[in-house]
Amino acid sequence: MNRLVTAQRLAPVLIAWGIPASASHQFEIEAKQDGAKVIEAEHMLLALTTSSDGDAAKLMHEAGLDHERMASALKEERRRTLAFAGMKAPEKKLVAATELESPLSFGTSAKAAFKRALIGARHERHRAHPLRSTDLLGGILEAEMGTVPRALAIAGIDRVALAIRARGFK
């Protein structure tokens, strides 16, 4: 996946995965509200929590992970990361949201999540079935390092158990 792949260009693929068009558009919205220049795995996870009708959202809600809890955990993760570096997190957001009209491309953690989703789905189902939103969730959750695993630990979510449930979802 190269740098020019945007959520808009990938939307047909995501819809085929069972990820609603509203959720794929939500990837960009979450990233832009965060002031990000690219869509990362944490933005995709936040977007998946907002979907009320997807299998991935169902699994996350069963595990107690909703948008508010994830957003709060991400905010705390940033605060802790900055504190570790000897910096203080600003009281209010200093970066304005990115323009909503300009499309964003996918960042490194998002591309890695897509790759893990594809590999895991092929391995488990031997290409017999189409990819699902739970495959993407599994790909996001299988990251062992980075923002998502740290934020999920802060939120008290068992990342490994949820990833296993996502991969085994039928």
Mean predicted confidence (pLDDT) in 47-56: 80
Which of the two residues, 81 and 125, has the higher pLDDT score?
Answer: 81
Q: What is the pLDDT of residue 9?
A: 67
- Short-list 20, 19, 21, CA closest to 8: 21
pLDDT class of 129 with cuts at 50, 70, 90: low
Given a cut of 90, whether residue 12 has pLDDT beyond it is no
Angstrom CA distances, 51 to 45, 71, 87, 121, 166, stand at 10, 15, 35, 21, 16
Residue 106: CB atoms within 10 Å = 26
Whether the CB-CB separation of 30 and 40 falls below 8 Å is answered with no
Give the model's pLDDT for residue 161. Answer: 94
User: How high does pLDDT run on average in the chain?
Assistant: 82
Please provide the CATH number assigned to the domain covering 7-91+101-168: 1.10.1780.10
Q: What is the DSSP string of 19-49?
A: --HHHHHHHHHHHHHTT-SEE-HHHHHHHHH
State the DSSP H helix or E strand holding residue 81, giving kind and residue range, or none if neither: helix 67-84
Does the structure show a pLDDT above 60 at 147? yes
Q: CA-CA-CA-CA torsion for 7, 10, 13, 14, nearest 10 degrees?
A: -10
Q: Where are the domains of the chain?
A: 7-91+101-168
For residue 106, what are the β-bridge partners? 39
DSSP-derived 3-state class of residue 106: strand
User: Residue 53 — very low, low, confident or very high, per pLDDT cuts 50/70/90?
Assistant: low
**The predicted structure's pLDDT at residue 162:** 95
Of 33-37, 59-63, 99-103, the least confident: 99-103
Structure token pair of residue 64:
């107690």
pLDDT of residue 25: 81
Element (H, E) at 105: strand 105-106
Q: Which residue has the higher pLDDT, 18 or 40?
A: 40
pLDDT tens digits for range 74-117: 999 999 988 888 888 776 665 555 555 677 888 999 999 988 98
- At 101 the pLDDT is 65
Which pLDDT band holds residue 22 (cuts at 50, 70, 90)?
confident
